[in-house]
Amino acid sequence: MKPVVGPNFNLGSPRGRGPLGILKGAVFLALVVLLAAAAPRWAVKEVTITVDGTSQTVTTLRPSVAGVLAQAAIDLEAQDRVVPAPETRVVDGMTIQIRKAFPIVLKVDGQELALWTAAMTVQEFLDEAGVALGPLDEVTPGLETPLPGPAEVQVVRVEIETFWEEERVPYQELRWAEPTMTVGTTRVIRQGREGLDRVHVQLRYEDGVLVERRELARERVADPDHRIIGVGQRRPTSTQVVQTPQGPKRYRRVLEVLATAYTPGPESTWPFTDGLTATGVVARRGVVAVDPTVIPLGSHLYIPGYGLGIAADVGAAIKGNRIDVLYEDLDDALRWGRKWVKVYILDE
């Protein structure tokens, strides 16, 4: 390297040729040479560059991170992540970390976007893309999922709406055996009236589309009054007689049925707790629930072991040759249990 010559150092000066001048010049020249040799050592720095986990070490005189990366021929895309920033001044021993961007598809708000990112997690990717999440929104895969990994991130906008609404409860049409009317004739004994329920409803929307309707609760406001049609039963007197505790009774038909027992309390009748049967008769001993297609409502009955009764109620489980006899006491109902019995349909 050429020695640096200062502006006041003149080798051609007459004074420079004297012994003292020559000595001074030699010392100064040696100092300049020493400084010139030492200066590059002060500027040289050793830097580690890590690209997606792969490291290399470079020796550089470049003053900035951007200069070091240019020296190492590392091309950066706009979405690549460099730490520290490219404009940072380089110091000896520095580590420069580069995370190369990768493609990922974002599905959100009816759009499908092909993006490049160097984000570490799904949450970071969404923040980078400016996607704000609502409290119920669902993200697939989860927010803590590391990237790269899934090729697609989907955001489903979720909204929940709840409200109360009224719902009509339809009435049934029940047929009542009317002994005062001739066989083959009918008349309306009671008009039907719909009941009313209040229903708590929850609606779930995903991306604005209704996907689920759930019933959260239901309250009975008014029970329905079933429509009752009287069906004539009067015919020539029967000659068939059965002995009862109240004396002999004429009957027109006898059936073999499976009989259970119930009480007027909520343990048997919930949600109907007004103490009335389906036909409006007060629930008391002697009331029998029947299938009206087998035993007409209003029929007077005799059941051995139970006594006289009237077919005045119905039940969801009482279908076909089944009956449910009413006891006012739960212990009595439990003692009755479940048994096969004969039911006499009386001619009265």
Give SS3 for 32.
helix
The CA distance from 74 to 14, in Å, is 57
Query: What whole-number percentage of the chain has pLDDT above 70?
Result: 87
Alpha carbon distances (Å) from 65 to 56, 60, 97, 157, 262: 14, 10, 10, 42, 88
The CA distance from 46 to 25, in Å, is 36
β 300-303/307-313 pair status:
antiparallel
Q: Mean of the pLDDT values across residues 226-241?
A: 81
- The tens digit of pLDDT for each residue in 159-198 reads 999 999 999 999 999 988 887 787 778 889 899 999 999 9
Lowest mean pLDDT among 2-6, 168-172, 244-248: 2-6
pLDDT for position 154: 97
pLDDT for position 266: 79
Helix (H), strand (E) at residue 193:
none
State yes or no: pLDDT of 86 exceeds 80: yes
Helices and strands in the chain: count of H runs, count of E runs: 5, 21
Confidence of residue 201 (pLDDT cuts 50, 70, 90): very high
pTM (two decimals)? 0.55
State yes or no: pLDDT of 22 exceeds 50: no
Q: Mean of the pLDDT values across residues 282-310?
A: 94
Q: Which of the two residues, 165 and 237, has the higher pLDDT score?
A: 165
Answer CATH for 45-99 from 3.30.420, 3.30.70, 3.10.20, 1.10.287 = 3.10.20
CATH number of 236-346: 2.40.40.10
Q: Which of the two residues, 20 and 246, has the higher pLDDT score?
A: 246
Confidence of residue 228 (pLDDT cuts 50, 70, 90): very high
Say if CB 82 and CB 70 are below 8 A apart: no
Sheet-wide strand order for 95-99: 54-60, 45-51, 95-99, 81-83
Confidence of residue 126 (pLDDT cuts 50, 70, 90): very high
Q: Mean of the pLDDT values across residues 41-49?
A: 86
pLDDT for position 39: 44
State yes or no: pLDDT of 125 exceeds 90: yes
Say if CB 326 and CB 263 are below 8 A apart: yes
pLDDT for position 1: 32
Which residues, other chains included, contact 42 with Cβ-Cβ below 8 Å and sequence gap of 6+?
A: none
pLDDT for position 238: 63
Q: Mean of the pLDDT values across residues 297-314?
A: 94
Domains 45-99 and 236-346 share a fold: no
Q: Mean of the pLDDT values across residues 276-288?
A: 90
pLDDT for position 19: 52
The two three-digit tokens of residue 105, written as one number? 């598809």
The mean of the pLDDT values for the chain is: 86
The CA distance from 67 to 86, in Å, is 8
pLDDT for position 29: 40
Please state the domain extents for the chain. 1-43, 45-99, 102-156, 160-227, 236-346
The CA distance from 83 to 98, in Å, is 7
The CA distance from 253 to 294, in Å, is 11
Confidence of residue 40 (pLDDT cuts 50, 70, 90): low
The CA distance from 31 to 47, in Å, is 30
The two three-digit tokens of residue 143, written as one number? 């927010």
5 conformational bin, left if phi > 0, alpha if psi -120 to 50, beta if neither: beta
Would you identify the CATH topology of the domain 160-227? Resuscitation-promoting factor rpfb fold (2.20.230)
Lowest mean pLDDT among 18-32, 49-63, 159-173, 209-223: 18-32
pLDDT for position 28: 39
The CA distance from 202 to 161, in Å, is 6
